């Protein structure tokens, strides 16, 4: 009986961990500056480096992998982590 309870506990913990660490699909998209030239500072998630980086966004177009702050980027693409700053 203890073995069965331990199994279910571990299964629930593993499922919860997978849910908490799942990244939205746009976090995998590459940085995209967009087609306009009204440059503003933005943040994107670098999937290869596994952290948020700063870039200049043109103000229109691009993709969903852009955030107004590093903390927002971390909250969306690094769920469960402690924001740096």
Residue count (the chain): 85
pLDDT on residue 80: 78
pLDDT on residue 37: 95
pLDDT tens digits for range 62-79? 999 999 999 999 999 998
What average pLDDT does range 35-59 have in this prediction? 97
pLDDT on residue 20: 47
CA distance 45 to 77: 7
pLDDT on residue 18: 44
Residue ranges covered by each domain of the chain:
2-77
SS3 readout for 36-54:
CCCCEEEEEEECCCCEEEE
CATH topology of domain 2-77: Factor Xa Inhibitor (4.10.410)
> Is the per-residue pLDDT at 41 higher than 90?
yes
């Amino acid at each position: 009986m203890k073995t069965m309870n331990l199994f279910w506990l571990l299964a629930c913990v593993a499922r919860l961990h997978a849910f908490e660490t799942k990244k939205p699909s746009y976090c995998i998209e590459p940085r995209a500056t967009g087609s306009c030239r009204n440059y503003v500072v933005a943040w994107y998630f670098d999937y290869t480096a596994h952290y948020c980086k700063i870039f200049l966004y043109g103000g229109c177009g691009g993709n969903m992998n852009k955030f107004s702050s590093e903390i927002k980027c971390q909250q969306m693409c690094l769920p469960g982590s402690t924001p740096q700053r």
